Chains A and B, each alone.
Chain A
Amino acid sequence: GAGVSQSPRYKVAKRGQDVALRCDPISGHVSLFWYQQALGQGPEFLTYFQNEAQLDKSGLPSDRFFAERPEGSVSTLKIQRTQQEDSAVYLCASSLVTGQSTDTQYFGPGTRLTVL
């Protein structure tokens, strides 16, 4: 079956623009994670959803970042008034169940955001 998909794959924004990044998790997966990966770094956690509930948003770097998953499937990460430091690859991952460390997170291909 299809894995996690993300769109767009590449996004170029001018500083100050708003952007929306989409994640389609594997069908039936309860958990959904967003990570941010800056150049030369490992992925860093942003936020977590269990179905439609956003249970952890401790990694969101500022109030310009907002995520939602209204029907418990597709998720959107929105960044308002983008800044150059927002340039990164944004990764989405989903897993079947929740709260179990034995559960595997499956990653999407990422969206590369470049803010000029």
Chain B
Amino acid sequence: AQRVTQPEKLLSVFKGAPVELKCNYSYSGSPELFWYVQYSRQRLQLLLRHISRESIKGFTADLNKGETSFHLKKPFAQEEDSAMYYCALSWGATNKLIFGTGTLLAVQP
């Protein structure tokens, strides 16, 4: 069955420290993976998708099919990065999303 796992509920780092939010998935085909972010009092929004191979707000994520992982990384965390981050897998003809349980990133000053 398709599944997305985010092992950390909370990740607390200091400003300027590197960040890595972990995401593992199980999927039998070629996955389409995404990171969504929800800032305080804002709606859920797309941060980046693996197919674009882009960097958004300094974040990158590399799909590792061997390890079935799609970890989100940023070399230097900023306070404004504090938010809830969800890893998601797109599945089926309808492109519905399967989400992980989310990781709350708290960047301390």
Bound-state Cα–Cα, A48 to B90, Å: 13
Q: Considering the complex, which residues of chain A in the window 97-116 have a beta carbon less than 8 Å from any beta carbon of chain B?
A: 98-110
Name the segment of B53-61, B64-72, B91-99 touching the other chain.
B91-99
Q: Does A65 contact B (CB under 8 A)?
A: no
Smallest beta-carbon distance A97→chain B, Å: 9
Cross-chain contact A45 with B45 (CB below 8 angstroms): no
Q: Considering the complex, which residues of chain B in the window 21-69 have a beta carbon less than 8 Å from any beta carbon of chain A?
A: 32, 43-46, 49, 51
Number of residue pairs spanning A and B whose beta carbons lie under 8 angstroms apart: 62
Given contacts A42-B86, A43-B44, A107-B45, contact A33 B32 (CB under 8 A): no
Cross-chain contact B94 with A48 (CB below 8 angstroms): yes
Cross-chain contact B95 with A109 (CB below 8 angstroms): no
Q: Within the complex, which residue of B43, B45, B96, B99 is in contact with A110, where a contact is CB–CB below 8 Å? A: B43
Interface size on B, residues (CB 8 A): 23
Given contacts A40-B101, A41-B101, A42-B101, contact A104 B46 (CB under 8 A): yes
Q: Considering the complex, which residues of chain B in the window 82-109 have a beta carbon less than 8 Å from any beta carbon of chain A?
A: 86, 88, 90, 92-102
Bound-state Cα–Cα, A104 to B45, Å: 9
Question: What residues of B have a CB within 8 angstroms of the CB of A43 in the complex?
Answer: 44, 86, 97, 99
If over half of A's interface residues share one DSSP class (helix, strand or loop), that class is named, otherwise mixed; here it is loop
Q: Does A91 contact B (CB under 8 A)?
A: yes
Q: Within the complex, which residue of B32, B45, B93, B100 is in contact with A42, where a contact is CB–CB below 8 Å? A: B100
B residues near A (Cβ < 8 Å) are 4, 6, 32, 43-46, 49, 51, 86, 88, 90, 92-102
28 example contacts (A-B, Cβ-Cβ < 8 A) are as follows: A31-B94, A33-B94, A33-B96, A33-B97, A40-B101, A42-B6, A42-B100, A43-B44, A43-B86, A44-B99, A45-B96, A55-B94, A56-B92, A59-B96, A99-B93, A99-B94, A99-B95, A100-B95, A101-B51, A101-B90, A102-B32, A102-B49, A103-B95, A105-B46, A105-B95, A106-B45, A107-B43, A110-B43
